[in-house]
Amino acid sequence: MGFTRLTPSKPTIAAISGFCLAGGLELALWCDLRIATESSRLGYPERRWGVPLIDGGTQRLPRIVGLGRALDLILTGRIIDASEAHAMGLLTEVVNNGDHLRRAIDLANNLARFPQRTMLADRRAAIEGLGMTLQQGLELESRAGPDVFADAVSGAGRFAAGEGRGGAGAGA
C-alpha cells in the first residue's frame, strides 16, 4: 500500500498468471496495461470476509471497466476467468499459459522504441483528463503541444517519407 497512490511517470505493464485477487488485482489495476494467461482468475474475494478495498480498487476498476461491471465484482466478490476479464476490458490481452512475462516484456520493449516525449504527453493527458469535462481535457491535451511540437514535426516528416506505412513498425 502507498505507492499505488502515486501515478507512475512511465507506462506500467502487469504480467498476470494464476490468481490475481484482492490487493494483487488492485496492483494490476495501477498498471496501464494488463497481460494475463488464459488460466488466470481475477476478483475481490475479500468481500466475503468484510475486508475493504483500500489500495485503489474502488476507484480504478470503474474507470477501466465502467461502473456497472465494477460494482458486480466489488459487491459480489465474484472471481472471473481471463476470458470474461478481457471481454469487459479489465485485461488488455490474454496469452497462452507461460507466455505472459515474455509478452509483457515484448510490449514494454516496443513502447520503449516509440518517441517518448509525445507518448508520455499523451499518456499524461489521458490520465489527468479522465475526471475533467471534455473541454477541460481538450485544453489539457493542447497544452502539451508546444512542448512536443518539434517531435511531432519530425515524426510527421518520417511518416510523409514512407516510414510506418500500412502499420509497419506499430508492433506494440
Select from 92, 110, 128 the last residue of a domain: 110
62 part of a folded domain: yes
100 part of a folded domain: yes
* The pLDDT of residue 97: 98
User: CATH number of the domain that 154 lies in?
Assistant: 1.10.287
Ranges 88-92, 140-144, 156-160, most confident: 88-92
Q: Do 51 and 98 have their domain in common?
A: yes
Return d(Cα 60, Cα 29) in angstroms, integer.
6
Q: Do 91 and 127 have their domain in common?
A: no
How many separate domains does the chain show? Answer: 2
Listed residue (163, 78, 77, 67) closest to 113, CA to CA: 163
* The pLDDT of residue 145: 75
Q: Do 67 and 128 have their domain in common?
A: no
pLDDT higher than threshold 90 for residue 146: no
Span 12-22, average pLDDT: 97
Confidence of residue 163 (pLDDT cuts 50, 70, 90): confident
Confidence of residue 170 (pLDDT cuts 50, 70, 90): low
Query: Are 19 and 39 a contacting pair, CB within 8 Å?
Result: no
* The pLDDT of residue 99: 98
Residues 110-122 pLDDT 10s: 999 998 988 999 9
* The pLDDT of residue 172: 63
Query: Are 107 and 15 a contacting pair, CB within 8 Å?
Result: no
Q: Do 126 and 63 have their domain in common?
A: no
* The pLDDT of residue 102: 98
pLDDT higher than threshold 70 for residue 169: no
Q: Do 68 and 128 have their domain in common?
A: no
172 part of a folded domain: no
Domain containing 126 equals: 114-162
Q: Do 151 and 67 have their domain in common?
A: no
* HEC per residue, the chain: CCHHHCCCCCCCEEEECCEEECHHHHHHHHCCEEEEECCCEEECHHHHHCCCCCCCHHHHHHHHHCHHHHHHHHHHCCEEEHHHHHHCCCCCEEECCCCHHHHHHHHHHHHHHCCHHHHHHHHHHHHHHCCCCHHHHHHHHHHCHHHHHHHHHHHHHHHHCCCCHHHCCCCC
Q: Do 27 and 7 have their domain in common?
A: yes
170 part of a folded domain: no
Residues 27-47 pLDDT 10s: 999 999 999 999 999 999 999
Q: Do 105 and 123 have their domain in common?
A: no
pLDDT higher than threshold 70 for residue 1: no
Q: Do 140 and 98 have their domain in common?
A: no
| Residues forming the active site | 26, 46
Dihedral (CA of 52, 56, 59, 63) sign:
negative
54 part of a folded domain: yes
User: CATH number of the domain that 48 lies in?
Assistant: 3.90.226.10
Q: What is the mean pLDDT of the chain?
A: 91
Return d(Cα 89, Cα 119) in angstroms, integer.
21
